[in-house]
Amino acid sequence: MKTMKHTKYAYMLLGCFCLLSFAPAEEVKIKEFSVAGIKVIFKPSVKEIVSARFFIRGGTANYAKEKEGVESLALAVATEGGTKKLSMTDFATAQERIGTEIGFSSSYDYSQISVSCVAGYWNESWNLFADVITQPRLDQQGFDLIKGKVIAGAKEEEADPDHYVEDKSMEVSYAGRNYAKIPGGSASSLEKITLEDVKAQIAKVISKSNCFIVVVGNVTEADITAKINATMSSLSVGQAAKVEPRTEIQAGVTIENRDIATNYIRGTMSVPALAETDAVPMRVAMSIMYDKFFLELRTKRSLTYAPSAYFNSSIVHNPQAVFYASSTKPKEALQVMIDQINDVKNNGFKEKELKDKKEEFLTNHYSRLETNGAQSLAIGVNEVGGSWKGFENFMTAVEKVSVDDMNKAFRKYSNSINWMYLGKESDVTKEDFKQPQMLPNAGKVEIKK
């Protein structure tokens, strides 16, 4: 997919990495410098594919609830609608001719415009990329066409229970906060957005103070500097977006009745932000929880086809852990989920689980960040979260994780889970959604081998 129009697609991409802060596969130092007042993070690479990303801070904090989806729609129009030099058709043709891909994603804490190209076409590709940022066409005809496609996509997602329960879960978990907004927008909110809204949003968020650039590829610092000076030095200084303040997810249960064949359960709890000390132990812990859910819910009991538990690091400043299952037997599935959470709270993780998980990380480490595009995304998300240095230091941090670290982190954050249920109301009661309980002596027992 060339352009990611909705948050879900960004999640899918980030979810492929799960722990997206893996250290780079190549022993090459990342450089940070400034060009014309724009922060640049550059990782040299011998690979012939160059990846550049223009990150925009703020995410859902950049617009009001009634305008949700405006930034995503604005970037869709900018990256698909052509530039002041090229019509929509000519812009698409120019990319196809040299095998360049320009796209975008919008999420809760940031948006980004990306370009991926063969190093031999770096000059032409950069010019297309820069024009999207500084000289998007933004005409009524292109806007109407792209808006229609985006609305159609939003309606499809709203009709899909899996997508719906995710959006609804965010809404109830972060009620009254910026994260309660849908980054890709709802069909009803998108209908009201005008071309003038899109123009105003681009003018507001694209600035030197609010944006930074990540480049990974076989290019030079001098070349990047020259390109930015030539094409982006005229960007306004602007203002940095406000960082979403820390907020803890409160315990709760929301049951929404719907007569569907499969029932959906999604529990969310707060976890440490990417830059916090216990973030890495918590990520490792949630990866082990995924294994436990898969074994108990699918392999042993066949209660669900695709259970999941993961650290949702695509939400940067207020990340969450997610416990998920879809099942025709929701009461039984939910009981197993809560039993697994309680077991870890009371008995802790095992040394062997951690040892096996570390080995798995090391085995998958290189493949997960195999492409320059994956690395540029991971570097940028770490920068949004506090510092790109988290990308370089991640594997060392994983090596240092102890069972004690994981147990402390999991026990600290698993006291308050917000549950969302979509399905037959008669199949569950609110009492089924018990909050995890820790026994008086939990945490004092010896760690099992």
Q: Tell which wins on pLDDT, 445 or 249.
A: 249
Flag the least confident range among 10-24, 367-381, 416-430, 435-449. 10-24
Per-residue confidence (pLDDT) for residue 110, from 0 to 100:
97
Q: What angle do CA 165, 264, 17 make, to 5 degrees?
A: 70
pLDDT tops 80 at residue 57: yes
Paired with 115 in beta bridges are 52, 102
Per-residue confidence (pLDDT) for residue 313, from 0 to 100:
78
Query: What are the structural domains, with CATH classification, of the chain?
Result: 7-231 (3.30.830.10), 252-432 (3.30.830.10)
Per-residue confidence (pLDDT) for residue 21, from 0 to 100:
43
Contacts of 295 (CB under 8 A, 6+ apart): none
Query: 304-346: per-residue pLDDT in tens?
Result: 999 999 999 779 999 999 999 999 999 999 999 999 999 999 9
Confidence of residue 8 (pLDDT cuts 50, 70, 90): very low
Beta strands in 223-319, from DSSP E residues, in sequence order: 252-257, 263-270, 308-312
Per-residue confidence (pLDDT) for residue 444, from 0 to 100:
52
**From the DSSP assignment, how many helices (H) and strands (E) are in the chain?**
15, 11
- For 14, list phi and psi in degrees, rounded to 5: -70, -35
Closest C-alpha among 329, 321, 327 to residue 419:
321
Confidence of residue 436 (pLDDT cuts 50, 70, 90): confident
Element (H, E) at 338: helix 330-347
Closest C-alpha among 333, 313, 309, 335 to residue 322:
309
Pairing label, strands 101-106, 38-44: unpaired
Radius of gyration for the alpha carbons in the chain, expressed in angstroms and rounded: 22
pLDDT tops 70 at residue 11: no
pTM tops 0.85, yes or no: yes
Length of the chain, in residues? 449
The string of DSSP codes covering 53-121 is: EEEEE-GGGGS-GGGTTHHHHHHHHHHHS-BSSS-HHHHHHHHHHHT-EEEEEE-SSEEEEEEEEEGGG
Q: What does DSSP assign to residue 263? A: E
Query: 88-105: per-residue pLDDT in tens?
Result: 999 999 999 999 999 999
Q: What does DSSP assign to residue 136? A: B
pLDDT tops 60 at residue 391: yes
